Structure 1
């Protein structure tokens, strides 16, 4: 089987319901879709959410279409890691981390989708699944919501069967954070997990101060308390806090996680499927973390559920609320694994 053609398309439109975290509004939905065709008639596809700016998806699509995909033509799509190595060499001069990695991730996901479809099985079977269901929490606590709005969405998450909720923090003073977190705790009860996410908003001193306060409210973890690349800061912070540090969504490739994990700077590693490099790198990061007894929870859901199924240290898949027309219900706070061939996910 050989790759014969790669199609790349984009969409970019305003979000119907913009959301806000501590550092930004997320107000556009940009998507880049990649389709890899073969001489056997099997096609693999991926869809990558990318960019708040209208032009961002087109910039990524141009890199994929003009630089990456010409190197794929004639390759055997089974050789996923070989293709990854080739694309890393190709982009080394310009810097593989960043935009190039997101493009490589889009191709990686399409290749895994192609393998699953060629064999007629979901990708979690190819990776060697350890479980048939994945525990899930709801990321519902965006900062544009007032306290009453937070209470409503948190209650809805509990009604839908989620094991817990995550709340954004760091958009205002600590007193505001504590009011919002306490309100959610009252709604979800003492037994549900409650996570907080600062989106890199703090310096070390403020992260330490607020982390201790969040810990007093019984939070499960503090996510992205510091700038993503501050490995030493994360290690220092983890030494001072009992509250677990969760981070990783803004790191690029497996090597960016090595010193963070080995140094004890993360208690819950959270790669992003796009930035980490796709299914291949996320699976490798998860196994690296498992070797250090570090838990793994995805940033985002969708196709990431296949990786989560295959890791021994999985604790959570991130999700939004289930839509009214959802084809599934949660059982014991867990998503079932998808049964379609390829890389589909329930909450794509």
Structure 2
């Protein structure tokens, strides 16, 4: 089975067709009548770090609402944990590039709308930050479809399960934390919140420091818990292999993004050389990049980001490609959009989260409300809106 065969397989997802037919039956003359966007700029918080970046200081988001003639509004939002001005770029694309294409269209055809947007934006490029805008549009369209049909989106997509295991991304690097006391508190808090799995950052300093952090995490979590490690692209191939063998011996469940995302040969080498799971994908755009990675056997777990990957239609096709190769899926990021998609795929194993999360026995439950449950509160918009 080659990359071309797998892409054909992904394009034939039956659940999407069933869902769209059901939505079309609810309101046959549904049309898009307008869009609204708001730019949000929360104040800086306490900084924390991965191996390469500073986060929680320069944040921003764009909130999208797509209106219809039936009075149904589809919501989506796109957050930037650093370099918050990226949200302003996405807002501009939505207002100036997306809006003219989607006005008057039937939202029951999100894949066709995506194809039309791709064609319209192809000259200036449809990867990178443009995918954030296309993704927000697609997510809002699916929110409309779910609301129109009276179903949560995961049931529109052909639900496979109604709950999914969740892990806490809580083991960041912090200022003035040489004794790892802040690091330990974060992991202890995650255990108190009901998580059974935790992910920590590695790779910022020496291998010895990584070992110290991993031991502290395991000791703090106690028996029967899983630990994932995330290097955020910081290693070259030789360093990734050296440290990966140590992480493997220490019992870590997966090694995430040890290499830059474009080094797909390097990922294939690591996946072959290590017995532990290799996870990556948060920085890849579209199913084409994922098809290349998966066909090279460069990952045991792919992690599409609902914003960068391109939204619901693209995310589901990525997951289908992965399933064809017996590759598992874990979302990059949490929230209701990722939750809805994960619940619809048989090869989904984890949702990422952080902080308090509604769970039963370490698993997030499927939303009950129709649509994507992607609304942003009026209070949050009022509080942080700029421009």
RMSD value over aligned CA atoms?
1.7
Runs of 5+ consecutive residues of structure 1 not aligned to the other structure: none
Which one has more relative contact order, counting CA pairs under 8 Å at least 6 apart?
A: 2
| Higher share of residues assigned strand | 1
Task: State whether residues 77 and 374 of structure 2, in contact with CA within 8 Å, keep that contact through their aligned partners in structure 1.
Answer: no
Q: Which residue of 17, 22, 39 maps to 2:51?
A: 22
Runs of 5+ consecutive residues of structure 2 not aligned to the other structure: 1-29, 378-387
Q: What is the deviation of 1:50?
A: 2.7
Structure 2 residue aligned with 1:273: 306
Task: State whether residues 233 and 258 of structure 2, in contact with CA within 8 Å, keep that contact through their aligned partners in structure 1.
Answer: yes
1:332 aligns with 2:365: no
Q: What is the deviation of 1:7?
A: 0.9
Q: Which residue of 130, 136, 149 maps to 2:166?
A: 136
Once the two structures are superposed, residues 134-153 of structure 1 have per-residue CA deviations (whole angstroms, 9 ceiling, x without a partner) of 10111000011631222222
Structure 2 residue aligned with 1:217: 250
CA distance in 2, matches of 1:251, 1:347: 26
SS of the equivalent of 2:119 reads: helix
Structure 1 residue aligned with 2:350: 316
SS of the equivalent of 1:335 reads: strand
CA distance in 1, matches of 2:361, 2:375: 16
Q: 5 Å matches for 1:1-348?
A: 1-26=30-55, 27-50=57-80, 52-144=82-174, 146=177, 147-302=180-335, 303-322=337-356, 328=358, 330-344=359-373
CA distance in 2, matches of 1:167, 1:290: 27
SS of the equivalent of 1:94 reads: coil
Once the two structures are superposed, residues 196-236 of structure 1 have per-residue CA deviations (whole angstroms, 9 ceiling, x without a partner) of 00010111011001101111110000000000111111001
Cα 1:29–1:54, aligned 2, differ >3 Å: closer, same or farther? Answer: closer
Task: State whether residues 304 and 345 of structure 1, in contact with CA within 8 Å, keep that contact through their aligned partners in structure 2.
Answer: no
CA distance in 2, matches of 1:277, 1:224: 20
Once the two structures are superposed, residues 91-148 of structure 1 have per-residue CA deviations (whole angstroms, 9 ceiling, x without a partner) of 1111211111111001001101111111221101100111111101110000116312
TM-score, reference length from structure 1: 0.95
SS of the equivalent of 1:196 reads: strand
TM-score, reference length from structure 2: 0.86
User: How many aligned residue pairs are there?
Assistant: 343
CA distance in 2, matches of 1:342, 1:52: 29
CA distance in 2, matches of 1:345, 1:43: 11
Once the two structures are superposed, residues 163-188 of structure 1 have per-residue CA deviations (whole angstroms, 9 ceiling, x without a partner) of 21000011111111110111101111
Once the two structures are superposed, residues 219-275 of structure 1 have per-residue CA deviations (whole angstroms, 9 ceiling, x without a partner) of 000000000111111001111111111000000001110121122110111000000
Task: State whether residues 78 and 115 of structure 1, in contact with CA within 8 Å, keep that contact through their aligned partners in structure 2.
Answer: yes
Q: What is the deviation of 1:345?
A: 6.3
Q: What is the deviation of 1:19?
A: 2.0
Q: What is the deviation of 1:346?
A: 11
SS of the equivalent of 2:75 reads: strand
Task: State whether residues 332 and 351 of structure 2, in contact with CA within 8 Å, keep that contact through their aligned partners in structure 1.
Answer: yes
CA distance in 2, matches of 1:3, 1:344: 19
Q: What is the deviation of 1:47?
A: 0.9
Mean CA deviation greater in 61-70 or 141-150: 141-150
CA distance in 1, matches of 2:368, 2:65: 21
Structure 1 residue aligned with 2:9: none
CA distance in 2, matches of 1:80, 1:231: 30
Task: State whether residues 301 and 330 of structure 2, in contact with CA within 8 Å, keep that contact through their aligned partners in structure 1.
Answer: yes
CA distance in 2, matches of 1:138, 1:347: 22
Cα 1:40–1:345, aligned 2, differ >3 Å: closer, same or farther? Answer: closer
